[in-house]
């Protein structure tokens, strides 16, 4: 069953494949909403020179041509959007975690439904639904937005960086404040999630949490700057994850407040009690909120 009202493209988080989002895809499609979740190149192990994916060596050097860039993730998502637009589809982007940057970069003006409508064209992106996602200002990357300007490197407590054996770490408000000493490949290694059962899946039954933890991938540090001013053009909503241990709600609320303080087009706020993975632990509730916002955004086109 498919619906003509809008399609959904999910921009998944770093260190993930589309697999953990399949329950959400199925729930949306059960309501007649065509849904896609393309694999981001930066999170695809075959692009990261880690050897055997079943026994990965994350301390290997970068591939000969370097790691994929976050901008390549946006291109991948953009290609899916373009195919939907070519079929005259209206598209809602669902952005999880670092997928927030990807969705914003991919939703260029030429793909936005209001712009296309004004030009006599059909289809296009109608809005973005952020789910515990990064809201990054124009001109910043995810990395630059969170790094201090004093020469130190701040890494979240849940992030394990590889190929960096000589780092001096300092505890800092729930994060590791890391002084760069001798980083084997510069600040260019890959990272993985430390204790994902605790930080990603803390409201999921342990057996299932272990299953999804084992399915995670890796990713390089996202350094591509945001070049697309999405924020002034499309309606956006943000689902604050109250029990998120990866991106605590204070950070989520801070990003929303910082955005709303300087942008005329405000991001509306929703809340739920889920962890960083509501696509697994709160699937039906998340589906319903996505559908509700998509219907609202559709009315504004």
Q: What is the pLDDT of residues 185-227, one digit of tens each?
A: 445 679 999 999 999 999 999 999 999 999 999 999 899 999 9
Worst-scoring range by mean pLDDT, 23-32, 140-149, 192-201, 273-282? 140-149
For residue 48, is it within any domain?
A: yes
Q: What is the dihedral of CA 287, 288, 289, 293, to 10 degrees?
A: 100
Residue (of 211, 12, 163) closest to 101 by Cα position:
12
For residue 2, is it within any domain?
A: no
Whole-number pLDDT of residue 292: 97
Of residues 157 and 21, more confidently modeled: 21
Q: How confident is the model at residue 233 (pLDDT cuts 50, 70, 90)?
A: confident
229 and 105 in one domain? Answer: yes
117 and 98 in one domain? Answer: yes
Domain boundary among 193, 214, 235: 214
167 and 124 in one domain? Answer: no
Pairing state between β 124-131 and 90-96: parallel
274 and 128 in one domain? Answer: yes
What is the pLDDT of the chain when averaged over all its residues? Answer: 90
Q: What number is the average pLDDT over the span 253-271?
A: 95
User: Is pLDDT of 48 > 80?
Assistant: yes
Domain boundary among 153, 179, 214: 214
For residue 58, is it within any domain?
A: yes
127 and 193 in one domain? Answer: no
Number of domains into which the chain is organized: 2
Whole-number pLDDT of residue 151: 65
Whole-number pLDDT of residue 188: 65
132 and 45 in one domain? Answer: yes
Q: What number is the average pLDDT over the span 249-275?
A: 95
User: Is pLDDT of 182 > 70?
Assistant: no
Domain boundary among 214, 244, 270: 214
For 50-90, the pLDDT digits (tens) are 999 889 999 888 888 889 999 999 999 999 999 999 999 99
Beta bridge partners of 92: 8, 127
176 and 136 in one domain? Answer: no
For residue 197, is it within any domain?
A: yes
Worst-scoring range by mean pLDDT, 99-108, 188-197, 268-277? 188-197
248 and 118 in one domain? Answer: yes
Burial class of residue 5 in the structure, from the number of CB atoms within 10 Å of its CB (0-12 exposed, 13-18 middle, 19+ buried): middle
For 118-165, the pLDDT digits (tens) are 999 999 999 999 999 999 999 999 998 988 777 677 778 898 888 644
Q: How confident is the model at residue 232 (pLDDT cuts 50, 70, 90)?
A: confident
Sheet holding 175-182, edge to edge: 153-156, 175-182, 166-172
Q: How confident is the model at residue 169 (pLDDT cuts 50, 70, 90)?
A: very low
234 and 196 in one domain? Answer: no
178 and 58 in one domain? Answer: no
296 and 150 in one domain? Answer: no
pTM above 0.85, yes or no: yes
Whole-number pLDDT of residue 172: 42
Of residues 102 and 183, more confidently modeled: 102
Q: How confident is the model at residue 183 (pLDDT cuts 50, 70, 90)?
A: very low
Residue numbers of the domain that contains 156? 143-214
């Amino acid at each position: 069953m498919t619906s003509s009202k809008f399609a959904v493209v999910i921009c998944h988080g770093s260190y993930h494949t589309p697999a953990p989002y399949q329950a959400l895809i199925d729930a949306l499609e059960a309501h007649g909403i065509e849904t896609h979740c393309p694999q981001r190149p930066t999170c695809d192990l075959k692009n990261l020179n880690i050897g055997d994916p079943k026994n990965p060596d994350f301390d290997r050097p970068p591939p000969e041509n370097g790691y994929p860039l976050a901008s390549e993730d946006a291109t991948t998502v953009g290609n899916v959007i373009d195919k939907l637009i070519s079929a005259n589809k209206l598209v809602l982007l669902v952005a999880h975690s670092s997928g927030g940057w990807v969705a914003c970069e991919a939703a260029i003006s030429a793909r936005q439904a209001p712009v296309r409508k004004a030009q006599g064209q059909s289809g296009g992106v109608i809005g973005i639904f952020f789910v515990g996602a990064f809201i990054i200002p124009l001109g910043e990357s995810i990395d630059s937005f969170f790094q201090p300007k004093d020469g130190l490197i701040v890494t979240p407590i849940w992030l394990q960086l590889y190929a960096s054996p000589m780092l001096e770490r300092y505890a800092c408000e729930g994060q590791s404040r890391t002084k760069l000493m001798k980083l084997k490949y510069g600040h260019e290694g890959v990272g993985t999630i430390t204790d994902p059962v605790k930080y990603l899946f803390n409201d999921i039954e342990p057996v299932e949490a272990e299953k999804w933890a084992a399915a995670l991938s890796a990713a390089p540090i996202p350094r591509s700057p945001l070049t697309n001013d999405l924020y002034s053009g499309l309606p956006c909503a943000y689902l604050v994850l109250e029990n998120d241990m990866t991106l605590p709600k204070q950070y989520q609320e801070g990003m929303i407040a910082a955005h709303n303080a300087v942008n005329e087009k405000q991001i509306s706020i929703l809340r739920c009690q889920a962890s960083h993975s509501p696509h697994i632990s709160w699937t039906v509730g998340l589906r319903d909120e996505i559908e509700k916002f998509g219907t609202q955004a559709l009315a504004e086109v």
